[in-house]
Each structure stands twice: as structure tokens, then as C-alpha cells.
């Protein structure tokens, strides 16, 4: 009796481990990536998967506050703007932000 309980327990543990390892092997989501680059007082480059855009914030009616850091303000604006379409920042440096969003395929 004791041996059969131990044998059943080992089978259950090995089956559970196999399922866990199998589930971890598959990526749960696929992503597409974009880069936003600050290139001057009010200029942003949007490198999106399907297009490239040069944006002048001044022409769009966005005024950079006088006491702010231009690149920080512009990159924060871009992150908030793209965040409305599901993009999330992944990495950044002083002039660029890498963003991603999940793709259903």
C-alpha cells in the first residue's frame, strides 16, 4: 500500500513538472517595437513598425515650458502620446526611448 501511494505521488509530481516546463517554453505574447528619438528643441522622430514620422511639437500647438529640459519634456510627451495606442516604454537614454506593444497573431 505504501509503495503504491509513493508511486502515484511520483507520477503526479513528474506529470506536473512536465506540464510546468512545457508551459514555460512558449512565449505568452509577441511584441512589436518602436523607437522615439529627440533631435532638437521640438523635433521628434517616430520609428514605428509600419511608418516613420518627423514631428515638430511647435507646429502641433505643443509649447515646451520655459524652465523644463527640452529633451525630457519631448520624450515624456511622446511616451504619453504613444501610450494611448498601447505602447509601453521598455528602455530609454537621454535622446531615445524604446517602446513595445503586444501583437495578437
Residue 6 lies in a domain: no
Calpha distance 79→81 (Å, rounded) = 5
Burial class for 49, CB neighbours closer than 10 Å (0-12, 13-18, 19+) = exposed
pLDDT tier at 94 (50, 70, 90 boundaries)? confident
pLDDT tier at 15 (50, 70, 90 boundaries)? low
Residue 7 lies in a domain: no
Q: Give the cell for residue 98.
A: 524604446
Residue 9 in this model has a pLDDT that exceeds 90: no
pLDDT at 88: 97
The H or E element spanning position 92 is strand 88-92
Q: With H, G, I as helix, E, B as strand and everything else as coil, classify residue 38.
A: strand
State the chain's mean pLDDT as an integer. Answer: 85
Residue 66 in this model has a pLDDT that exceeds 70: yes
pLDDT at 104: 82
Residue 43 domain boundaries: 30-103
pLDDT at 103: 93
Residue 16 in this model has a pLDDT that exceeds 80: no
Model's pTM, two decimal places? Answer: 0.70
Count how many domains the chain has. Answer: 1
Amino acid at each position: 500500500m505504501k509503495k503504491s501511494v509513493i508511486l502515484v505521488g511520483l507520477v503526479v509530481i513528474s506529470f506536473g513538472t512536465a506540464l510546468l516546463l512545457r508551459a514555460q517554453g512558449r512565449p505568452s505574447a509577441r511584441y512589436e517595437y518602436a523607437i522615439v528619438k529627440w533631435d532638437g528643441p521640438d523635433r521628434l522622430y517616430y520609428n514605428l513598425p509600419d511608418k516613420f514620422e518627423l514631428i515638430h511639437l511647435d507646429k502641433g500647438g505643443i509649447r515646451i515650458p520655459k524652465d523644463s529640459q527640452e529633451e525630457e519634456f519631448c520624450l515624456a510627451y511622446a511616451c504619453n502620446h504613444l501610450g494611448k495606442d498601447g505602447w509601453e516604454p521598455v528602455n530609454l537614454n537621454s535622446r531615445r526611448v524604446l517602446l513595445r506593444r503586444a501583437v495578437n497573431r
